[in-house]
Structure 1
Amino acid sequence: MDMAQLPDHDPDADADYGLPGWIYGSERFFREEQDKVLRPSWQIVCHLNDIPRAGDFHTFEFLGESVVVVRGKDGGVRAFANVCRHRAARLLDGPVGHCARIVCPYHAWTYALDGRLIAAPYPETYPALNVDQQSLAPFQVEVYRGFVFVRLEGDGPSVAEMMAPYDHELEPYRFEEMVPFGRVTLRPREVNWKNISDNYSDGLHIPVAHPGLTRLFGKGYGVEAQTWVDKMWGQLIDEPSRNPSERLYQRILPDSDHLPPERKRLWTYFKLWPNQAFDIYPDQVDFMQFIPVSATRTMIREIAYALPDERREMRAARYLNWRINRQVNAEDTELVARVQQGMASRTFTAGPLAETEVSLRSFGRKMRALIPQARLPRPPEGW
């Protein structure tokens, strides 16, 4: 079953339970996930404003593939395997860069920015060389509101179709005009990627484990799930927080004229199936991906974007935002590590889910539909 055929509201006999613990540590299950869940998924690489000129590129490492997204001379954006068609050497180094052409450092095979092979030394010595058939291997690419996504393989809905239920909420933020705020950071975690994803969409732990968010939102934290995207949100309350950073953020957060009144002090979180999230604040937008490395290791990839704004209050608000969320991230890191450790216990199979845990229910339904073994309380024989 591919993503295009994934049912929306088919009956699920296991809907009232979470996923079994063994799939959060099984390398065999991880291989199934790569083929059936992750490789057919859209992944964010960068923003158009990260690659404004012809020849600007961003690279992205995902599931053993090195992907390069490059701006062409025609202004278009393309994604290719960062692999020479001659002897498979990596072509471009580093996370970002610029090149007039793509030249292999091994044998100097040379490609245009649109991926065409345009030069190979001594071409007459290759009996099987057909230049027209040796372009760089392409990947699917989609630009959604200025952000560049790639998909390694498969089909299914576009990013725009997946985000359609909430696209109207994103429109006022002017994503297309945003510029990078900082740089890409990578944070390794010794946990399964699904545990990070589950925690991101879990609303029940907010009042228990995140006192800062509770001080900011009170009891007004909401969670809902659409087919391909979860939404979480909290409106900043007027009561001053006891925490100095939170209280100052509440006080100095400047007005954003481009936002409607109901969004000027709203924090909204979206998780796009299956492994990426974006946190939308009045002052900036943070993207986060849970990049699976193995069954028990994940790399969190993050970068922030913002509209150009030189107001002193806005600069301060963005710094305070970072301080507040650094504490939230530290709390989540400890929580997820606790869960990962518990998932390894043979005493744990799958716990019951509350009716309000709509995001975990939605995630589990899709996983069970794509990989039926996820219904089993124990790994099948041979796994």
Structure 2
Amino acid sequence: MKIAESADIFPGGGPDFPGLSYKKPLKKGRNRYKSQFLTLRPIRPERTMTLKKNDSSSSANPGTAGSALPTWTYAREDLLELEYPPFFVETWQFVGHVNELQQSGDFITLDLWKDSVVVTRASDGLLRAFLNICRHRATRLLDGRGNCGSMIKCPYHGWTYQTDGRLAGIPSPKNFPGVDRSEYGLFEAQCEVYRGLVFVRIAGEGPSVAEKMANADHWVESYKAEEYVLLSEAVTETWNANWKIAWDNYLENYHLAVGHPCLHRLVVESEQGAMLLGGNSAGFFEMNPKLSSVDQERRYQEIVGCTDHRYPEEIRRKWLQIDFESNMGIEFYPSLFSVFQVLPMGAEKTQIRMSLYTPADLSESEKELRSIDLALLDEINGQDKFLCERIQRGVKTHGYRPGPLSQEESGIANFHDRIRKLLPVTRLKSPPPRGQIEAHNQQESS
């Protein structure tokens, strides 16, 4: 997927980086969201962390937010094996929107590192989620999104399943004497619809999405997200960085002044915000009353009021950003909402997945606002990719040790403390020998 117009262009050029080449802002009425990955990183409120005496994450740097994980944790495949269940298999993951699954047989797939999940609209009208593999020989069943009709058919041997997951047919059944079809339906995953957003959880227990989002629900409800329609099919891009580097970047504000100056010109932090169940947070940002010196940004500030009729006063002309679980950002803007997902593909490779939705009845002014939103999203994403890939190369430098985290990076400190709690082996400053990480993790747990 092409992000910048030239491979040697740093996407943060232009008015913020005048010494570097720069993509011109999109002209009115033009956008490239169908062919480019998009994400916006507004300034966000940071969670505060209470530092305890003798806390190993903070004692070396009193008064700071704490210390980052040791560098070896960003480049070990065996550590990813330990991270994958608690951070991806046993957490809620966004798949799509109910308006993409309206007809019987409609489906959407989501690929994680080792797993693929499919959500279908069954013939009884209910949404169901399954592991996207045939029960016979584990062949992948469906790709992307579409409509499978009344049956899901395995492309290998032709086993067929009803849209509710039940095994419907086996070719040459005489070759399977005694097989009880009722025992070979698709493996089911948990599925929940929250305000029109469809989530799955492969395994594990715990609070529902609605329970986790309860403290921000009155705001999310005001956006009427269940009425939005798909703006672009989920767009994916590969970043050559560990998934934690991408999520660290999402959680902190400290890099914005240098990495994303346009955000400082556009928005200021609001006092509105809430802590969510499980340590996540939600926060608002409002338009900067000082007009930007950049034409595109100033135009955004001038016309953002065209969406006022859609929202109660409490959320007008504001951005709402919610960090959810440990790899997902749910972001509401006046002209659209997006879901940003960080999905590991290996120790040093991450898939970024972005889904975009919009009201179906935008006016011409609102469409212009959305076009600027998309141009900004494209610009900011390119900068984040550039920075995260540079960090990935940097953390492997011989002799490097993490420095202190600022108070603006307290979100990272909290995230890393959660990792240390779930996977005590990450407390070790030096990497355990390969092949022994699980044993060391058990040893540190005792």
User: TM > 0.5 between the two?
Assistant: yes
Contact map agreement 1:180 1:304 (CA 8 A) in 2: yes
Q: Decide which of 285, 293, 303 is 2:345's aligned counterpart.
A: 293
Q: Decide which of 168, 177, 180 is 1:127's aligned counterpart.
A: 177
Q: Which moved more, 1:184-193 or 1:80-89?
A: 80-89
Partner of 1:4: none
Deviation at 1:222, TM superposition (A): 8.7
Q: Decide which of 48, 51, 54 is 2:98's aligned counterpart.
A: 48
Aligned residues: percent identity? 35
Whole-angstrom distance in 1 between the partners of 2:143 and 2:86: 29
Q: Decide which of 238, 241, 247 is 1:197's aligned counterpart.
A: 247
Which residue identity lines up with residue 290 of structure 2 in the other structure? E
Partner of 1:260: 312
Q: Decide which of 410, 415, 430 is 1:358's aligned counterpart.
A: 410
Q: Decide which of 231, 238, 248 is 1:181's aligned counterpart.
A: 231
Q: Decide which of 385, 392, 396 is 1:340's aligned counterpart.
A: 392
CA RMSD of aligned residues (A): 2.2
Deviation at 1:240, TM superposition (A): 1.7
Which residue identity lines up with residue 246 of structure 1 in the other structure? E
Which residue identity lines up with residue 129 of structure 1 in the other structure? V
Which residue identity lines up with residue 14 of structure 1 in the other structure? S
Could you tell me which runs of 5 or more consecutive residues in structure 2 were left unpaired when the two chains were aligned.
1-48, 59-65, 438-446
Q: Decide which of 351, 354, 366 is 1:314's aligned counterpart.
A: 366
Whole-angstrom distance in 1 between the partners of 2:431 and 2:365: 54
Q: Which moved more, 1:25-34 or 1:79-88?
A: 79-88
Q: Decide which of 221, 236, 251 is 1:171's aligned counterpart.
A: 221
Give the TM-score normalised by the residue count of structure 2: 0.79
Deviation at 1:221, TM superposition (A): 9.2
Partner of 2:30: none
Instruction: Name the CA shift for 1:31/1:165 in 2 (closer, same or farther; >3 Å).
Output: same
Q: Decide which of 285, 289, 300 is 1:234's aligned counterpart.
A: 285
Whole-angstrom distance in 1 between the partners of 2:188 and 2:401: 41
Instruction: Name the CA shift for 1:68/1:9 in 2 (closer, same or farther; >3 Å).
Output: farther
Query: What secondary structure, in the 3-state scheme, does the structure 1 residue paired with 2:308 have?
Result: coil
- Once the two structures are superposed, residues 33-58 of structure 1 have per-residue CA deviations (whole angstroms, 9 ceiling, x without a partner) of 11332211111011110111111001
Which residue identity lines up with residue 340 of structure 2 in the other structure? M
Count, aligned residues: 376
Partner of 1:107: 157
- Once the two structures are superposed, residues 234-275 of structure 1 have per-residue CA deviations (whole angstroms, 9 ceiling, x without a partner) of 211232211111111111221332312231111122111211
| 2:356 matches 1:304 | yes
Whole-angstrom distance in 2 between the partners of 1:158 and 1:35: 18
Query: What secondary structure, in the 3-state scheme, does the structure 2 residue paired with 1:150 have?
Result: strand
Instruction: Name the CA shift for 1:334/1:172 in 2 (closer, same or farther; >3 Å).
Output: same
Query: What secondary structure, in the 3-state scheme, does the structure 1 residue paired with 2:193 have?
Result: strand
Contact map agreement 1:55 1:99 (CA 8 A) in 2: yes
Could you tell me which runs of 5 or more consecutive residues in structure 1 were left unpaired when the two chains were aligned.
1-7
Partner of 1:3: none
Contact map agreement 1:60 1:95 (CA 8 A) in 2: no
Partner of 1:136: 186
Whole-angstrom distance in 1 between the partners of 2:51 and 2:419: 13
Which residue identity lines up with residue 136 of structure 2 in the other structure? H
Which residue identity lines up with residue 249 of structure 1 in the other structure? Y
Query: What secondary structure, in the 3-state scheme, does the structure 2 residue paired with 1:357 have?
Result: helix
Whole-angstrom distance in 2 between the partners of 1:268 and 1:353: 25
Whole-angstrom distance in 2 between the partners of 1:363 and 1:266: 26
Deviation at 1:9, TM superposition (A): 8.6
Give the TM-score normalised by the residue count of structure 1: 0.92
Contact map agreement 1:70 1:79 (CA 8 A) in 2: yes
- Once the two structures are superposed, residues 285-311 of structure 1 have per-residue CA deviations (whole angstroms, 9 ceiling, x without a partner) of 011111100010011111111121231
Whole-angstrom distance in 2 between the partners of 1:105 and 1:54: 20
Over 4 Å off, 4+ runs = 8-12, 218-226
